[in-house]
Chain A
């Protein structure tokens, strides 16, 4: 079956990139040493590098990419708009504001879960605001305009909080919150994000049938037995959990949720439900590839992930806008 083949192919791609991510890094470890350290625990320092530095980084790459791909596909399915993407419409920057507030108020220091929870709260607020501003079937124009306003506002507040921080390094970190990075992340971050992301995946995975039905519009979907109020709530919570947890540990990586569903849509017959698992895998693959690229292009420089995803994503976004206008969508 074609869809099965696609999913298997994407899964294999993720596995290959995951392995590559484990084997690439500034410490020149041979293949044998890497595998020996990872699986057999050979070599004290190599074990630290493999198990405490590279493994969590690769895992976070998979988790973050899957979350972003899934969130993008779900939001596009719900809004029936291929331009909807958490980073572009201000959800990520609002989550970043929540995370920065948790860190700079000291809340995250006294209660570790405050970091993802505050980011999640920021994301929930922004999605609610967007749905309010753009309406149930947001036209591209209102959606993007509302998103720009929200991004700018959340970004400005984030800068303000970071500039007022007593920590001299904080002010320079606005770029991390805007572009995202997996540099020097550890299992602390994996465990912090995983429960929320897993919850988000489960919530969004249940939406397939409802999103399929929404192809026919809200009225027809409701008459097909889809409970729209519930679907909307699940969508908001799912996207917020995925994006909030991701941004809290890795900053706001843009465009993954735009590029991946766009590329995969023709391969799943444009069905929003089937696009969900495919986009999760595709997102994981794209993020792993980007994270490998930042390490290969500029080793030891902590080049931001969002730089690479934007280089791919922004031209595609322009193309989509052009296409949307031409089709008068």
Chain B
């Protein structure tokens, strides 16, 4: 079942196309790593797919009305905004906004979703802490929990593991993989190609606004693609511990 279908999606900023003619289908069960160098158009692609930016071409999610879209796709922006000193529980419960009954009271199902999201991100102990007083990495996890509480079939996350410690990076990627295994789909932009190679079922490589490669990690992280798009040479091997990827040097 396809959860997101992009058809010839193009986004212009001024005269320049920052995303050019991208077509993509993401189905249930997929954990997609969206990779590419800075300025490749990863964030723009995701925002346009959600309908947060004007674009030409079509996106199955952007085509939905606002309320239905919020139940279909959750979005975790790169900017970690927490404007007011609310409690962690309150912040995570904001993820329930699309599901709330008129009047805004949390129902049993909402509480359960909030509890589950807190548990998944190892945040149960933080429940009544003030979110703005947490460390940057803790805030990042709270915001991921917020996106999980939205309980949407599709999760788009923009650099969700940037700034997390290694344990929580791995934990977050494991959560994403588990979500996909449950029959949802995750699209996450990542700069850590090692984690992407280990945890994603599929990688989408972007370069200069175009979709360059799309497929299993081993098929995308080829020396040619790495050299051409990232300008690096890397060590990539299948080991008894799973795939291991390590960038080695910059190539001209």
- The B47-66 residues at the A interface (CB cut-off 8 A) are 47, 50, 52, 66
Which residues of chain A are within 8 angstroms of B95 by Cβ–Cβ distance?
A: 224
Interface string of A259-301 (1 = CB under 8 A from B): 0000001000111110000000000000000000000000000
- The B132-158 residues at the A interface (CB cut-off 8 A) are 143, 146, 150
Interface status of A304 (Cβ within 8 A of chain B) = no
Known A-B contacts A213-B94, A217-B81; A223 and B50 likewise in contact (beta carbons under 8 Å): yes
Known A-B contacts A219-B52, A271-B84; A224 and B70 likewise in contact (beta carbons under 8 Å): yes
Cross-interface CB contact of A225 among B67, B86, B146, cutoff 8 Å: B67
Q: For chains A and B in complex, what number of residue pairs have CB atoms within 8 angstroms?
A: 79
* Residues of chain B at interface, number, CB under 8 A: 32
Interface string of B83-103 (1 = CB under 8 A from A): 111110011001101101000
Asked if residues B77 and A80 are in contact (CB atoms below 8 Å), the reply is no
Known A-B contacts A219-B47, A223-B70, A224-B70; A269 and B94 likewise in contact (beta carbons under 8 Å): no
Known A-B contacts A216-B94, A224-B97, A225-B67; A271 and B104 likewise in contact (beta carbons under 8 Å): no
- The A213-228 residues at the B interface (CB cut-off 8 A) are 213-217, 219-220, 222-227
How far, in whole Å, are A213 and B74 apart by their CA atoms in the complex? 13
CB B96 to nearest CB in A, in angstroms, measures: 9
Asked if residues A208 and B104 are in contact (CB atoms below 8 Å), the reply is yes
Interface status of B73 (Cβ within 8 A of chain A) = yes
Interface status of A33 (Cβ within 8 A of chain B) = no
Cross-interface CB contact of A269 among B52, B70, B90, B150, cutoff 8 Å: B90
Most B CB atoms within 10 A — which of A208, A226, A270?
Answer: A270
Taking CB as reference atom, which chain A residue is nearest B74?
A223
How far, in whole Å, are A269 and B85 apart by their CA atoms in the complex? 8
Asked if residues A217 and B100 are in contact (CB atoms below 8 Å), the reply is no
Most B CB atoms within 10 A — which of A208, A213, A215, A217?
Answer: A215
Cross-interface CB contact of A215 among B71, B86, B100, cutoff 8 Å: B86
Interface status of B176 (Cβ within 8 A of chain A) = no
Which residues of chain A are within 8 angstroms of B47 by Cβ–Cβ distance?
A: 219
Cross-interface CB contact of A217 among B69, B71, B83, B86, cutoff 8 Å: B83
Asked if residues A216 and B82 are in contact (CB atoms below 8 Å), the reply is yes
Known A-B contacts A223-B73, A226-B66; A212 and B81 likewise in contact (beta carbons under 8 Å): no
Asked if residues A223 and B81 are in contact (CB atoms below 8 Å), the reply is no
Cross-interface CB contact of A80 among B75, B83, B94, B104, cutoff 8 Å: B83
Most B CB atoms within 10 A — which of A222, A226, A227, A272?
Answer: A222
Most B CB atoms within 10 A — which of A209, A214, A220, A272?
Answer: A220
Cross-interface CB contact of A227 among B66, B77, B82, cutoff 8 Å: B66
Ranked 4 nearest A-B pairs via Cβ: A225-B70, A217-B81, A223-B75, A80-B83
**What are some 5 contacts across the A-B interface (CB < 8 A)?**
A216-B77, A220-B81, A222-B66, A223-B69, A223-B77
